[in-house]
Every structure is written in C-alpha cells, then in structure tokens.
C-alpha cells in the first residue's frame, strides 16, 4: 500500500473584520495597520507621525516609495497644524467640500515625515466623511496616513471583504463601515502659483468645483507626472484583461473568446445576459461610480476571458469613471 504524505497546509492569518472603533484606535496607537472605511474607498491606515508604521503601509501594499500618501484628519482646523500655507481658494474649497471626497496638496510643515510625502515639500490632506472613521480619528492625537487598501496597481476596495480578500494577512484589523457611498478615490487638487490644478479626477466632480471657484486647469500629463503617481497608467487593473472603448467596434477583434461586458445603461443583444453587468440601468453616474470597482472584481468570478468596458458620458463623475477604466485597460 502506498503511503500518502500530506503536505502541511498553512493558512495565512486573516484579519478580524469588526466595528470596534476603540480596538482600531488601540492598534493604531501601537503603530499597527488598520483598514478604515471612508466615503471614497477603504483606506489602509497608520499613524502618519510614526515613520515605521508608515513604512509598513508601503510594504503591505507593495507600493513604490515615490508614491506619496494622503494624510487624513478629523477637521480643517487640525489640518492647519500640518500645512504651512493655505491659499484663499484652498480655504474656500475646504469650507465647502470638507468633510468629503476632495484632497488638497499644500506646502507641508516639518511635522509631517518625509516618508509620507515621498520627500516632496508638499502634503496631500483630506477630511473624510465616514462617521466611523471620523469617530476613530477623534480618539487619536495623530492624523492617519492612508492610501487605498489594495495591492499597488490593483482595483481599489469598496467593502471590508475586498480588503480581507487581498490584504487580510497584512493588516491587523478591518473596521467595517459597509459599502462605500462614493466609490471612487478622492479628487486631488494642487496649487501652482496659487492657481488650482487638478492632479487626479475623482469622487468630487470638476463641474461642482468649477461652479464654486471658476475654471480649473488639468494637471499637465497627469498620467506620468511624478507629482501624482496615483495617475500612473496601468493602475486599477482587475484580474482579467479589460478593453475600454466602443464595444460594437471592439468586439470584432475577439472572435472565439468568452466576452464579458461592463456597460453603463443598456445590455448588448449579441452577448449572453449573464456575462454582462450594467453600472446604472437608470443612467445615474453616481450609482455607476458606487458600482464600478465592485463590478470590475465581479468579473473575476464570471466565465469570461476578457472584459469590454463601455465609455460613459464625459460629464460629471463620468469623467472620473472613464479615467479609471482607461487606466485599467490593456488597450490604452
Ligand atoms: P492613494 O492614497 O492610493 O489614493 O494615492 C494618493 C495619491 O495622492 C498619490 O498617488 C498621488 O497621486 C497623490 N499625492 C499625494 N501626495 C501628493 C503630493 N505631495 N503632491 C502631489 N500629489 C500627491
Ligand atoms: Mg490607490
């Protein structure tokens, strides 16, 4: 009889998912990593003033050190302790949109460590809106450095389970605040010679910003500007090749392949319905943003070889959604 030798099976320790804000605070005070819910996407948070803790964020995500982090505080008042100067337009934006999905890049004070800003003399700051994370930050006497809680280059997480699936063995606790209500990363605005410049399209649409402060410039060459590595090409990639554009035109290239369709409002008649996901059948761009990243992940479980993603209208949040799809695509 043949003896079977069983390989020992090792399971990576998974993180606890829970709603214990006190526990999250205790861990963060000890320099640990905690995944936090925000209105945009889940963040991978650490004490922004603890260099070792911040370094462990980069390690857990496999994120290059030249890609700076956003510092999250509980109020605009508190942010003033971290930035050297607030141009009047930045103040107007803070007053109107904080807490909310807007990040401002401002000159930093020395109290913000270089590891957070990748050595830049500016720091990205934001006051997030999620009530649990607001309560959490209020228990701390330091702000939280927090990039999105996903491996570098991959789709951002919009639920606690997404974080568990990908970083469960690298984070000490996942604070579960439900599905995110905006679903896209924050819009990032910097200032060049006091003029507002968009570094990243995101959860606050540019139209809304322009209604308040007038026209804003798009950052030059946002996709390769070292100031904004969040804009790197080939970012936000799902586990299957995604092609972005006009599905009717693209489909001819993929004969014999099992095609999935990520559409806006209307299904494609020539594909089986169970291989299609619509971001918002009623045509609501906010709903489309909320669904985007979760649907990109869904396709991993679908019996498809590739994803065709339809371009959405280039208005409001549609611009930021198209930006993410373009960046996730292999054909752009
Ligand atoms: P994430 O936290 O993954 O959403 O990425 C944060 C992004 O904020 C980075 O990838 C940069 O694009 C941007 N960012 C952070 N700090 C700065 C800064 N000092 N100057 C310009 N952009 C910044
Ligand atoms: Mg990110």
Superfamily of domain 17-218 in the CATH hierarchy: DHBP synthase (3.90.870.10)
Question: Which numbered atom of ligand 1 lies nearest the CA of 122?
Answer: 19
pLDDT digit string (tens) for 102-123?
999 999 999 999 999 999 999 9
- Alpha-carbon span 179 to 182, nearest angstrom: 9
**Sheet of strand 144-145, all strands in order from the earlier edge strand to the far edge:** 16-18, 173-175, 34-36, 43-47, 144-145, 70-72, 122-126, 102-107, 187-192, 195-200, 217-218
Q: Note the pLDDT tens digit of each residue in 176-210.
A: 999 999 999 999 999 998 899 999 999 999 999 99
Domain assignments of the chain as residue spans, ordered by start: 17-218, 242-328
Helix orientation angle between 285-298 and 317-328, rounded to the nearest 10 degrees: 20
Is residue 105 in contact with ligand 1, taking CB distance under 6 Å? yes
Q: Which tokens belong to 323? A: 């930006």
d(C-alpha 29, C-alpha 120), whole Å: 26
The pTM for the full model equals 0.92
As a whole number of Å, the CA-based R_g of the chain is 21
If one compares 134 and 270, the residue with the highest pLDDT of the two is 134
- For domain 242-328, the CATH architecture is 3-Layer(aba) Sandwich (3.40)
Residue nearest to atom 6 of ligand 1 (CA): 69
Phi, psi at 103, each rounded to 5°: -110, 135
Measure 252 CA to ligand 2 centroid, in angstroms. 33
Residue whose CA is closest, atom 21 of ligand 1? Answer: 227
Looking at ligand 1, which atom is closest to the CA of residue 156?
3
Please state the atom number of ligand 1 nearest to the C-alpha of residue 227.
21
What one-character DSSP code corresponds to residue 14?
P
């Amino acid at each position: 009889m043949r003896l079977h030798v069983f390989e020992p099976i090792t399971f990576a320790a998974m993180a606890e998912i829970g709603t214990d804000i006190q526990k999250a605070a205790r861990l963060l005070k000890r320099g640990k990593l905690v995944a936090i819910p925000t209105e945009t996407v889940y963040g991978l948070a650490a004490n922004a003033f603890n260099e070792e803790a911040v370094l462990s964020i980069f390690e857990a995500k496999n994120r290059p050190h030249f890609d700076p982090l956003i510092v999250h505080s509980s109020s605009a008042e508190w942010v003033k302790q971290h930035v050297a100067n607030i141009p009047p337009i930045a103040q107007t934006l803070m007053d109107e949109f904080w807490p909310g999905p807007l990040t401002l890049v401002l000159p930093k004070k020395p109290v913000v460590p270089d590891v957070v800003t990748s050595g830049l003399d500016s720091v990205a700051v934001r006051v997030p809106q999620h009530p649990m994370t607001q309560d959490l930050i209020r228990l701390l006497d330091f702000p939280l450095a927090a990039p999105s809680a996903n491996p570098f280059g991959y789709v951002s997480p919009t639920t606690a389970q997404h974080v568990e699936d990908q970083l469960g063995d690298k984070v000490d606790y996942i604070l579960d605040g439900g599905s995110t209500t905006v679903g896209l990363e924050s819009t990032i605005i910097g200032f060049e010679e006091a003029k507002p410049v968009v570094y990243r399209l995101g959860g606050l649409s540019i139209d809304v910003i322009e209604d308040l402060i007038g026209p804003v410039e798009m950052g030059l060459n946002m996709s390769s500007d070292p100031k904004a590595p969040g804009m790197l090409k080939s970012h936000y990639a799902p586990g299957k090749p995604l092609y972005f554009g006009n599905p009717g035109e693209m489909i001819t290239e993929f004969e014999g392949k099992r095609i999935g369709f990520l559409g806006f409002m209307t299904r494609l008649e020539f594909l089986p319905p169970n291989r299609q996901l619509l971001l918002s059948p009623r045509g609501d761009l906010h709903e489309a943003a909320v669904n985007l990243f979760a649907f990109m992940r869904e396709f991993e479980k679908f019996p498809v070889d590739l994803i065709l993603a339809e371009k959405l209208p280039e208005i409001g949040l549609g611009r930021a959604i198209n930006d993410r799809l373009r960046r996730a695509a292999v054909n752009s």
